[in-house]
Amino acid sequence: MHAKGKKPMGKLLLYGLGSVALYAAVYQFQDILLTTSARGGAYTVLPIATVFLFSWIHGTFAGTLWEVLGVTAVHKAPAKTAVQAPVRKDTRPRATVNA
């Protein structure tokens, strides 16, 4: 597999360091984060925002890592729709009950 164009090493390093920094910050300040988010009210958004931030930073890092390693998704051509035969009218005789 040959990579096309320049590999985004700077982006990989930036988001990799950002991901490591986020993990280190959460482990270092976990008590502060827990007590602050336990207050309730507007502070309830803190864990949700933290998860979204982690998802964005780590997801971008992981996607860029795969790109640098040369792993890409397979691009398939759209499937052709099969031409269906026209519906034929049923002309067989049917049994009927005349009561």
Q: Cα-flanking dihedrals φ and ψ of residue 93, to 5°?
A: -70, 145
Angle at 51 between CA 19 and CA 29, to 5 degrees: 70
Checking if the pLDDT of 1 tops 50, the result is no
Tens-place pLDDT, residues 53-78: 999 999 999 999 999 999 888 888 88
pTM for the whole thing?
A: 0.66
Contact 37, 43 (CB under 8 A): yes
Tens-place pLDDT, residues 31-51: 999 999 999 899 999 999 999
Q: Cα-flanking dihedrals φ and ψ of residue 60, to 5°?
A: -65, -40
Tokens of 24: 């280190």
Tens-place pLDDT, residues 9-20: 999 999 999 999
Burial of 57 (0-12, 13-18, 19+ CB in 10 A): buried
What are the structural domain ranges in the chain? Answer: 9-69
